[in-house]
Structures are given as structure tokens and as C-alpha cells.
Structure 1
Amino acid sequence: MTPLTISLFDQGPPAACPKPFNMAAHVLRHADALSEKPALEVLSETGAHVWTYGALKSAILGTAAGLLHAGFKPGDPLLMRLGNTVDFPIAYLAAIAVGLIPVPTSAQLTAPEVARIIDTLAPAAVLHDPAVATAETATAKNISTADLHDMRNLPPADFAMGDPNRPAYIIYTSGTSGQPRAVVHAHRAIWARQMMFDGWYGLRRDDRLLHAGAFNWTFTLGTGLMDPWTIGATALIPEADTPPAALPNLLHQHQATLFAAAPGVYRKMLDTPEDPALPTLRHGLCAGEKLSEPLRQRWQEATGTALYEAFGMSECSTFISASPTAPAPASTLGQPQSGRRIAILKDGQPAPLNTPGVIAIHKSDAGLMRGYFNAPEETAARFDGEWFLTGDLGAMDAQGHITYMGRADDMMNAGGFRLSPLEVEAALATHPDLATIAVTDVEIKADTRVIAAFYTADHDLVEADLKAFAAARLARYKQPRLYIRLPVLPTNANGKLNRRALRTELNAQTLKAKP
């Protein structure tokens, strides 16, 4: 490519999304031709439960028919409170297939958190696994996992084709307001994901892609399931609660050619006594949080395979990445994927090269959200003219490689989940013995970041009591792992809380001494 002169990467738009269109139909477009091929293998130490493309499509369209028979209409939101099982992607695609709007949520959410979502979303139904927390609602039907299983054998529904810009699904992300935000995505979002096939994965139809995440994580839904199925590859998912130490054997035993996980999983795999032996693996894929250069190098040395990182967000999935055909220079994220228009903005304009600014996505990107649910003002606030502002800082070189420089708004990253400290603080602030509270994520050792809560009080509080208080109000991934009492919380010249100071002023030995 011709060297850039400003921090603007634009190789032209991808092919336009077809009309009419349906996201689920696109994901299953090869299912008839590949009806006997394994689409999904759920792995355990003793073997695998295999779903062929034919069986998968039949279960999805049967469930879709059952949802229509239950009285739901196109456009109805369905809140998903399902566990880490194949029920999750089947129900997800079934809803999309007939124009319903699934709302996948983490199984870790507590009943109070779910209640707040129900209040704002007003779903037509809750798809509920009894083992997963939910909240009582008088306005939404309850569809149990048993109900969903009964639907699978119904005659198949037809795909509801239509405008690719209409809503397809909603996912929740935590924002700077301190409350989770509902992100509405269009059917066209799956069409945009094809830019990742070469721009990140190096994905082929004969691939066997093992994703280490849970079925109900959006990273797994996209990279681990939707994308392999779209191209006709085989998705491999470990059964629930599989420890990282077991993954090398599963990768070897089931002949995985690609592996996707958050950086923390790679680190835990490398902490085992023996280096992983992975003869069929071409390379690994990494997202969810920043990959450190030492971890990348350790994996390469231990396995002889490369790690390719991608950067994205709930509002647009991944859009900057390294790939087998375009490896990233050390300590950079890589380049914008072909077909993306990405800029580093300073004062609303593309910045000079190698100058820090806000990473921005052009509003024409097919993968960009439609907006936040019922929040037009909040949606508009994320745009500067034709650019969507990610809130992340970076710098671009002449070849388009982007160096990540942190969050502009103090967002935290907890195990791959973006999270506002304000949400955690709001939940903890009701503790009767806390005077003030502030949270941030801190690095306790290389490649390991945890949420830490800093508080003021007239005496040291029992950490076990604080953890129990948080556990009753927050999903596990939102709960602080460290609780540290300070005489006063640091502030800046304007009297506002200085979160950076929370990270830098602590004595490293104090953190290491914490359990």
C-alpha cells in the first residue's frame, strides 16, 4: 500500500450487503450442501458431541417455528438467560431467523442486574435456564430450556428476509454512564464480519476452530460459531467448566487448526509444566483484552505458532487486527481490516502520523451498531460528524499499524469484558461502612489485570464481608478481587477522582501481598 500521510486508513468499502437479507440465513447458507459435515463439536475429555450442519439447521428452524407458534412477532425482543450450552446459539439464531430480536446476556448476571435490564428493555419473553439467575416479571413470558428442546423437532420455519439494516440482535456493554447500555445491531453486521476472515483469522472451509470461551459470550458467538459456520468450517467448543490446563490436550486430540481465546487463557496454558504440543495448529487468535508482547513471544517459542491479535468493541466487533498475511509489528494491534475506514482523530480531524488521538470508525461501516436502544441522544454523543468515537486512544504509522494507548474514559477490562468503574462503584457505594469508594483495574503481574476497589472508612473492613456484599449485587466478572483502604482517594486539580493515580501510587509489594 502507498504510505499514509495522515492517520486515515481507507482501502475502499467492501461489497454491499445483499437485499433482502437475513443474518441467520447467511450463517447457515452452506448447511444444505454440507448437511453431513460436523458444524459443531462440544468437546470433553472423553470425546465429543457432534452436531452436523443438517441437524443444526433443523434444530434452529424448528425452534424458530416454535417461537412463532408461541405468539411472538417480528421485532419482539427476547431476553436470553441461558447457560453455557448449545441451547444458546440455537435459540439465538432461531430468533434471528424469523425476525425476532435475541438479547444474549452473561449467565453471571445477578437477579438485580437482570431486573434493571427487564425494566428498560421490556422483553416479550425470557428464554430461561432454571440454573441461571433471572428476575420475576409479570409482562414477559417465560420460555424454559425444556420448551426450547420441544420446539426443535417442529417443521422448519422459513427465513424472514428483509432490509439488512433492520435490527437483528441486542447486546449489552457497560458505558461511561455507569449503567450497561443496550447496543442494537442490524442483520448486516454478519456481512461485515467477512472482513475478518482474511484480515484476522486466515479462515478456510476445512478449518477446525476451537474457541475457549463459553457459548454465551459474544466473542464465542461471533468468532467461535457464527464465522466458522458462515464459511462452512467446523466449530469446536469445550464443555462448560473446562480448565485451561485441559485445552492443549483437546486441541491435539480433536485436531484443531485454529484456536481463539482471551490472552489470560494463553498465559494459563503456558503456566503448565510442559509446553503445549499442537501439531495441527496453524496459529492462535487473541481478543478481549490487550495482548502483551512477552506473552506473544512466549507462545511462539513454546508452540512454534503465531498469535494474531484483534481489537474491537461491542459497537462494532473487531476492526483492527493482525493476520497471517499481514503480521503486526511488535507492540502494535495491526492494521484496519480491508474494507474498513478508520482514523485517529485529534480535534475532530485525522491526526498527523504517530500522533496520539481517539480511534474512530467511519459511520458507513456495515458492522457498526444501529445505535443504543431507545437512547438517540446517547447514540449521537458517540459521533463526531461522520466518525464514531470508540473512546480508545491510539497512534497510526505510515503503514496503518495502530499502537493502542489505553482508554480515554477510564473503562476497565475484566477478563475480556469491558466494564465501567461507575457501575461497580454504584453497587458498592450502598455499603453502610464505606465513606467513599473508587475502582479501577490494576496489573498484579505480567498479563494479569484484576479489578481493585479503593475505599475510605474509619476502620479496616473485613475483605470477605466486602466480597460477599459485591457478590450479591454484581456478576462475578464485575466483582473486585482486591480491597484496599486509603486515607483519602486521590483527586486532580479540579477535585475529580484521579483513577490513574490509584494505579500508580500503590506500592507494588502491597498488591502482591493481597490474596
Structure 2
Amino acid sequence: MILASAVLLGIAAVWSLAAGLLMQDLGIRFRQALLYMPFRLVYRIRDEAMRDARKSDAPVIYVVSHQSRLEPALMLSLLPDQTLHILDEASARSHWLEPWRELGRTIAFNAEHVFVSRRLVRVLRGKGRLAVYIPDTVEPDVKSFRLFRAIARIAMQADARIVPVYVSGTRFLPFSLTPPERAPRSWFPRLTIAALAPMTVAELLQRAGYQRSNTTNALFDRVAEARLAGTDLDRGIFYGMCDAAERFGASRPIIEDVVGGVLSYRMVMTGARLLGTRFQKLAAPGEPVGVMLPNTNGVVLTLLGLISSARVAAMVNYTAGPASVASAVKTAEIRTIVSSRAFVEKADLADVVAAIEQAGAHIIWLEDLRDSVSQKEKIAALLQWHRPLMPQDASKPAVILFTSGSEGTPKAVVLSHRNIVANVMQAEARISISPEDKLFNVLPVFHSFGLTGGTFLPLLTGVRLFLYPSPLHYKLIPDVARKVRPTIMFGTDTFLSAYARTAEDGDFSSLRFVVAGAEPVRQETRRTWRERYGAEIIEGYGLTEAAPVVAVNTATHSRDGTVGRLLPGLRMRLEEVEGVSDGGQLWLNGPNLMMGYMTADKPGVLQPLEGWHDTGDIVSVDREGFITIKGRAKRFAKIAGEMVSLGAVEIMAQALWPEQHHAAVAVPDKRRGERIVLVTTAADAKADKLRLYGKQAGAAELMVPQDIIKVVELPVLGSGKTDYVAARRMAMTQLGLAA
């Protein structure tokens, strides 16, 4: 009895001492520290952000993302005791939460009582503090979105600062509010509390970089930023994969292709480690290694093998032609390229291989690497699948991608591990995805959309991935989709419209939505997919330099004709462009922006991006924050001193001939500097018809093309974008201007 009492007294003394230290560290009361201590020990909580959050000057509203039953206990333990916590009914009645409710002031949530009365505004004006718990959802329904509107209104009336708080990891706890099939349960995940700097609603509007009257969207965007801040970007791609394997299960099937079958996280990482040991012998750490492979399981293993061995994956665009591939090899100073004999033979890439070798690079065949692996090595790799071969540094280059070269020699875009992981998390904070989903990726991995969105995003978020080797198999892809039953698909307007022409009504019926980028989505394409398959096309906007996603429409925020709203964590500004009254040239800044370029005139030399990046795109932004692409700055024709958007000309032609494809290009004109030529697949296209339609639509006369070139098919890049260089060349040739 005496011994037991002594042990209990010892535990109490240690507990009190630890609580005292915690009280000093976080600035909380002793009783708060006593009740917070078990959470901190069990969940190894990173809580540094709460020190500054507590010091926020009143009046202040702490907007807490409510993911589990744990958040109220954590916030009652960590926020100042004079904070008024507005709890949901379950938390207000819960017996286990009683000791924590005694730490502060609480009231039960009632929409009519809380957000209609003026009580909360009076509390805040009296230098008060509120903690409001909002449902954690990426795409909130109408009811949930009303809470954002109410909080923003209260903050405006009381001139209160807002501090978003997000506890990363709680949605996977056994007492999570998210259904288990969407968030696998874990008893002891490590938790991280993210709390952003206090800002008033007026300050949130000002920092957006454009005029916006919607205070609700400003708050919604800020809360999404807290979600992003809760992600440890320094974990990088490899450890991000390990975290996903631990969270969703190492045996969970994660990737599949038409030949290699299904692979689990463990199998993927084991294969990557085996290949990584070979890559260590082929190149030095940090050296770029070319990857010329189609969308198969093998390309994923190769990418992760290079990452594990601290080599940089340089994605070769084999559809760009021998000259562009040779230029890319020289620009990035690639000495070794990994490819497949079977792929080269099927894709008829002998001329590309010859250009690579002539440029000084050596090709290593994946088949040879696979055959060289011994049974002993396989066992060793299986035992150490979760360990990288080399130390990982998220600030170092991970991938090199090449621009299309449509405006000159292709540039090498260098992306770090942080850039890619940040963009994955930004997309996850905007679009609702879960382990229940299956993503069907037909976009090539040498394209940034196919690499980050179509490959790394599902791998890091537990979404099953089905890889298809070519987006050009218009007749086969619908049949594969019918068998695979994906819920998400990525594509471009060109590819999606082609699939719709050959597909049967039930082929894509399993899809929840389709994410489209790289080129504008035509209304005809959108209507077809909506009516025939019940799938919404979510249009977005990106660029290789941004890894690539910049903006996207969502279920909550969607507007046809726009590319959506900016992702969380990104900032933008518009600079004036001569001759463009509605809009400006878009500049971006954010964690997903590239490390820098390598160019042909300085091969192998990273030219770092410093500060803001000029996208070269001219856009307009409405009051809700929706972005409309006017066109590339270099895709404007200057006719008699006036700037005319070639993209706007295409939209006009599309409205007149909706089922056809069109490309507007500018060619030299002796009298007016430039003139517009329409290259189109519309067999009945006539200039007088277009002129009459333009006049009726109120288009300026300068916008109407004087020349129309009819083609059977528009030239397309491997990424699915229109090849404007080739289209302009066709126009120049037919008009006799090529010389």
C-alpha cells in the first residue's frame, strides 16, 4: 500500500512538473497544461503555432476546422481561458469532454441563436475572443457555406481578426467525423496544429491582389490555406509516399496498368528501391536522368527509384520530334536516359533514339535492369522498402519538365520535391477526393498535368491510379473505362471530345467528374459529357512552371467559361497590357512555383526564379475571384495598332461551328502589321458567314479573320494542346507567305 502510494505520488509529481514546463512553454494555465499533457504525449503534437495564436490581439475569431471529437478538447486546452467556444450539440453534451469544458466559456451551437443575434458582435467589441468550429469539408454544401458567410459578417461588424486553425491528422482518428471509407482509422497518428497569422476581413480582401467584394470567399480561401499549412512539405515525395502507405495500408492496391496488373504500396516501393540501386551506378547524386516511358507501372517505379536514389527525373517528351528531344537532352545536360525496347518499337521511336544518341546521351533499357536483379536483392529491397537509398532533401530538384517549345526552343523547368508536394496538397484542399476514388490517367507523364495531377496526386492521397499508355487511342479508351470503372479522369478538350465521338453511353457512367486543362473547354464538349455520362467537366488552369495547377473550378465554386479560382497558398497580381482594358498580364507567387529554368544558351545551369513569375497569360478576374483566360500575351495580334486576342477569335468561331476545332493564328501583313487567319476543320466555313456572325455578336471588325484555311484535322501536341506553330506554318504555306 505504501509502495503504491509512493508510485502514485511520484507519477503525480512528474506529471505536475511536466505540466509546469508545458505551461511556461505555451503560455497556458496550469490546469490547461494538466489536461493537455496526455494528448501531447500520445499524439506527439507539434503545437508551436499556438503560441502566436494565443497572443493575437482581441477582438479575434479562431476558426477551427472540425474534423473529429478531439478539436474542442485541444482548443479548450490551448486557447486563452476567456475565449467563448461555440460547440456543436454533441460536444456540448458529451460526458468525456466535461473536464475540458470547465477550462473555458462554452455555448451550444444553434444557428438561429448564434448567427442572427448580435450577442457575438457585442462580445467581440468588448475585446472578446470566439472559437468557432466549422465542418471540415473541401467542397462545403450550402448549409456549411452559410457558416463562412456568417463568420465573415460578424468579423466585419466587430472589426475582428480571424485566425484559422487546422489540426492535421485528426480526420484519421477513431473518433473522426469523416466516414471510415474516406479516411482510414489510425489510433495514434502524429498531429500538427497549424494556425495562421491574424488578419481582418478587409486585410484578406486586400491581399488577394484583385478587387473582390465577396468576404465569404475571402474567409473560405484563408481557411483552405490553414489546411495547406498543416502539411509538412519538407517530407518530400518519398516520405510522402511512406506516410500514405502507413495511413492507407502498405498492402493497399494503388497503381494498375493494362499489362503489369495491380501493385500495392509495398510492391511499388520495393520495385523503386531495386531500380534505384541501378540508377546509383548510372549517374551521380543530383544528376538528371532522362525518362522516356509511357503511362505504365514501370514509369512510376522509375520515377520513385530516381527519387529514392537522389537523382533527378528528366521527363522526355518523345512526341515532340527528334530535334526537340535532342535540344532537351543538351539543355538539361542529360547523359543517361531510361527507356523500354518494347515501347520504342511499338511507338516507332527509332528516329528519336538516334537523335538522343547523337546528342550525346546513352539509353538504358528497363528490360535489362529488370533482368539483372537477383533473388537476394529482391528480398533485401522488400525488407527495406520504406527506406530511401539516399538522404532526401525536399528543397532539391526532383523533376525536370520541358516546355512545348511553341514560343521558341524548349526550356527545362526544374521542380523541387516541395513544389510538387505543395501542388498536390493545394489540389487536395480544393477538390474532394478520397481512397474510394479511382483515377484514370491517359495524359502522358512528360506533361506536368499528367505527372503531378495524374500520378503523384493519387499516390500521395491514397486514390487508386489506373495508367493508360496513350491518350490517342480514341476507340480503345472508352472500352477500357467501361471495364475499369474510374470515378475521376483527367483530359483536354481535344481528347475528351474525341472519346465522346466513339464512346457508348455507359462507357464513362462511373465518373464523378473530369478535370480538364491545357486548352479551353468548349460548351459542346461540356454538354455532351454532362448529358450522356452525367459527368461534370471541371475546368482548370495551370502551367509547367507552377507544377502545374494554378486555378480550378469546384463543386462549391464553379462558373462555366472560367478556369475557376486560385488555389490556396498562391498569390497573384495583374499588370497592365497596352490595348487590353479588361484584364492584365498574370504574375504568380507561391510554394508550387518552380525553382527556375535551364535554357539552351546556358545548358545545365539553373537560373533561379526570384520572387514573382510572369505567366505570359492575359487574364481577367471577376468579383468572385473567377479567372478568365484572354490568351497568351504572345497570342495577341497587333493589327493597325490594336491588340486582338486570337483566343477570342477562336471562341467566336467555336460559337458558330460548335462541333469543329479551330485555331486562330497571326501572319504578317504589309499594310496593317499583322492579320488573322483561321485554321479550321469546319468544311463549310466561310469568311462572310463569320463576318456576319461577328457583327451580330458585337465583335470588332478587326477580330474577323480575312482568310480561312480548311483542314481535316488540327495539329496537336502530345499533351493534347493545339500545335499553333504547326498551324501557323500551314497557314503561311497555303497563303504563299512561307518564303
1:106 aligns with 2:317: yes
1:389 aligns with 2:638: no
What is the DSSP-based 3-state SS (H/G/I as helix, E as strand, rest coil) of the residue aligned with 1:244? coil
Amino acid at match of 1:35: A
What is the DSSP-based 3-state SS (H/G/I as helix, E as strand, rest coil) of the residue aligned with 1:183? strand
Amino acid at match of 1:330: D
Work out the percentage of aligned pairs sharing the same amino acid. Answer: 21
> What whole-Å deviation, never above 9, does each CA across 1:33-60 have from its counterpart, x for those lacking one?
523222112148xxx8212222111111
Q: Which has the higher contact order (CA 8 A, sep 6+)?
A: 1
Counterpart position of 2:477: 247
Counterpart position of 1:490: 669
Structure-1 separation of matches of 2:324 and 2:457: 30
Structure 1 residues 407, 285: CA separation in 2 closer, same or farther (over 3 Å shift)?
same
Structure-2 separation of matches of 1:19 and 1:501: 47
Q: Is the Cα contact below 8 Å between 2:269 and 2:304 reproduced in 1?
A: no
Q: Is the Cα contact below 8 Å between 2:563 and 2:627 reproduced in 1?
A: yes
Greater fraction of residues in helix: 2
RMSD of aligned residue pairs (Cα, Å):
3.9
TM-score when scaled to structure 1? 0.74
Where in structure 2 are the equivalents of 1:288-307 lying within 5 Å?
Answer: 288-307=518-537
Structure-1 separation of matches of 2:458 and 2:586: 28
Structure-1 separation of matches of 2:503 and 2:414: 44
Counterpart position of 1:366: 591
Structure 2 residue aligned with 1:7, among 198, 205, 210?
Answer: 210
Where in structure 2 are the equivalents of 1:150-169 lying within 5 Å?
Answer: 150=371, 154=377, 155-156=380-381, 158-169=388-399
Structure 2 residue aligned with 1:511, among 700, 710, 713?
Answer: 710
Structure-1 separation of matches of 2:266 and 2:250: 4
Q: Is the Cα contact below 8 Å between 1:189 and 1:366 reproduced in 2?
A: yes
Structure 1 residues 347, 272: CA separation in 2 closer, same or farther (over 3 Å shift)?
closer
Structure 2 residue aligned with 1:321, among 537, 548, 552?
Answer: 552
Structure-2 separation of matches of 1:141 and 1:338: 41
Structure-1 separation of matches of 2:711 and 2:294: 34
> What whole-Å deviation, never above 9, does each CA across 1:106-161 have from its counterpart, x for those lacking one?
22243333322233322231223341422225854432122332366644362534
Structure 1 residues 38, 187: CA separation in 2 closer, same or farther (over 3 Å shift)?
same
Structure 1 residues 377, 336: CA separation in 2 closer, same or farther (over 3 Å shift)?
farther
Structure 1 residues 343, 207: CA separation in 2 closer, same or farther (over 3 Å shift)?
same
What runs of 5+ residues in structure 1 fail to find an aligned partner? 413-439, 455-487
What is the DSSP-based 3-state SS (H/G/I as helix, E as strand, rest coil) of the residue aligned with 1:291? coil
Give the drift of 1:270. 2.4
Counterpart position of 2:366: 145
Structure 1 residues 116, 268: CA separation in 2 closer, same or farther (over 3 Å shift)?
closer
Structure-1 separation of matches of 2:373 and 2:446: 19
> What whole-Å deviation, never above 9, does each CA across 1:313-366 have from its counterpart, x for those lacking one?
01000111011232x222111100122212333279xxx9x931112212xx11
Give the drift of 1:452. 8.6
1:62 aligns with 2:287: no
Where in structure 2 are the equivalents of 1:47-196 lying within 5 Å?
Answer: 49-68=261-280, 70-130=281-341, 131=344, 132=349, 133-134=352-353, 135-136=356-357, 140-150=361-371, 154=377, 155-156=380-381, 158-174=388-404, 178-192=408-422, 193-196=424-427
What is the DSSP-based 3-state SS (H/G/I as helix, E as strand, rest coil) of the residue aligned with 1:359? strand
Amino acid at match of 2:324: E
Q: Is the Cα contact below 8 Å between 2:414 and 2:596 reproduced in 1?
A: yes
Give the drift of 1:30. 2.2
Where in structure 2 are the equivalents of 1:428-447 lying within 5 Å?
Answer: 446=658
Q: Is the Cα contact below 8 Å between 1:60 and 1:152 reproduced in 2?
A: no
Structure-2 separation of matches of 1:274 and 1:71: 47
Structure-2 separation of matches of 1:103 and 1:126: 9
> What whole-Å deviation, never above 9, does each CA across 1:269-290 have from its counterpart, x for those lacking one?
3223743454432111111211
Counterpart position of 2:255: 40
Structure-2 separation of matches of 1:194 and 1:305: 24
Structure 1 residues 334, 49: CA separation in 2 closer, same or farther (over 3 Å shift)?
same
Structure-1 separation of matches of 2:369 and 2:675: 45
Structure-1 separation of matches of 2:608 and 2:360: 32
Q: Is the Cα contact below 8 Å between 1:88 and 1:216 reproduced in 2?
A: no
Structure-1 separation of matches of 2:310 and 2:443: 27
What is the DSSP-based 3-state SS (H/G/I as helix, E as strand, rest coil) of the residue aligned with 2:502? coil
Q: Which structure's CA Rg is the greater one?
A: 2
Greater fraction of residues in strand: 1
Give the drift of 1:62. 1.1
Give the drift of 1:71. 4.6
Structure 1 residues 165, 347: CA separation in 2 closer, same or farther (over 3 Å shift)?
farther
Give the drift of 1:449. 4.6
Counterpart position of 2:244: 30
Counterpart position of 1:280: 510
Where in structure 2 are the equivalents of 1:458-469 lying within 5 Å?
Answer: none
Amino acid at match of 1:90: L
Structure-1 separation of matches of 2:713 and 2:509: 39
Give the drift of 1:207. 0.8
Structure 1 residues 15, 238: CA separation in 2 closer, same or farther (over 3 Å shift)?
same
Q: Is the Cα contact below 8 Å between 2:295 and 2:442 reproduced in 1?
A: no
Where in structure 2 are the equivalents of 1:336-375 lying within 5 Å?
Answer: 336-346=566-576, 355-362=582-589, 365-373=590-598
Give the drift of 1:217. 3.7
Structure-1 separation of matches of 2:608 and 2:652: 27
Give the drift of 1:238. 2.7
Structure-2 separation of matches of 1:96 and 1:369: 17
Structure 1 residues 144, 512: CA separation in 2 closer, same or farther (over 3 Å shift)?
closer
Structure-2 separation of matches of 1:269 and 1:110: 25
Structure-1 separation of matches of 2:576 and 2:323: 40
Structure 1 residues 278, 136: CA separation in 2 closer, same or farther (over 3 Å shift)?
closer
Give the drift of 1:400. 0.6
